[in-house]
């Protein structure tokens, strides 16, 4: 299973998921209001590389990271 890690203020422990495409994350989190809101605003990295193609195929050894926007100075 692929592993999802939630960085920064999301505050959730990593989970393992069985998905074939990155686009399935929205469906996966549709019943979790906290994650549903984050998924709309986060950058996504697969195996430590930022991605923008949500049709990307996911393998069982991939690491998916949700990177929330941050403010700072």
Taking only the tens place, the pLDDT of each residue in 25-41 is 888 888 888 888 888 88
Q: What is the 8-class DSSP label of residue 26?
A: H
Mean pLDDT by 10 residues, the chain (73 residues): 93 94 89 84 94 93 92 55
Q: Which domains does the chain have, with CATH numbers?
A: 2-67 (3.10.20.30)
* pLDDT score at 34: 81
* pLDDT score at 70: 77
Unique residue bearing structure tokens 């393998």: 59
Residues in the chain: 73
Strand partners, 63: 3
- pTM of this structure: 0.88
Q: What distance in Å separates the CA atoms of residue 14 and residue 7, rounded to the nearest whole number?
A: 9
User: For the chain, where are the E strands, in sequence order?
Assistant: 2-6, 15-17, 43-46, 49-51, 63-67
């Amino acid at each position: 299973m692929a592993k999802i890690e939630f960085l920064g203020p999301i505050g959730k422990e990593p989970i393992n998921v069985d998905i074939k495409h990155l686009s399935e994350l929205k469906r996966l989190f549709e019943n979790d209001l906290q994650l549903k809101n984050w998924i709309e605003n986060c950058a996504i990295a697969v195996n430590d590389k930022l991605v923008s193609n949500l049709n990307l195929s996911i393998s069982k050894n991939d690491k998916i990271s949700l990177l929330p926007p941050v403010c700072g100075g």
